[in-house]
Amino acid sequence: MSINQIVLTPEIIAELFKESLVVNKEILSAGPKKTESNSSQVQTKFLGKHKSKILVVVHEPQAVFLQDTQLAYLTRILNACRLTMEDIALINSATLQNFNYRALQQEFPSNFVLLFGVTTTQLQLPIDFPLYQLQKLERTTFLQAPTLEQIEPSKSDREKLWESLKKYFDV
Three-state SS string across the chain, please?
CCHHHCCCCHHHHHHHCCCCEEECCEEECCCCEEEEECCEEEEECCEECCCCCEEEEECCCCCCCCCHHHHHHHHHHHHHCCCCHHHEEEEEHHHCCCCCHHHHHHHCCCCEEEEECCCCCCCCCCCCCCCCCCEEECCEEEEEECCHHHHCCCHHHHHHHHHHHHHHHCC
**In the chain, domain spans:** 45-169
pLDDT single digits (tens) 32-48: 444 444 434 457 889 99
Mean pLDDT of the residues in the chain:
83
Task: Report the share of the chain in percent with pLDDT over 70.
Answer: 76
CATH fold label, 45-169: Uracil-DNA Glycosylase, subunit E (3.40.470)
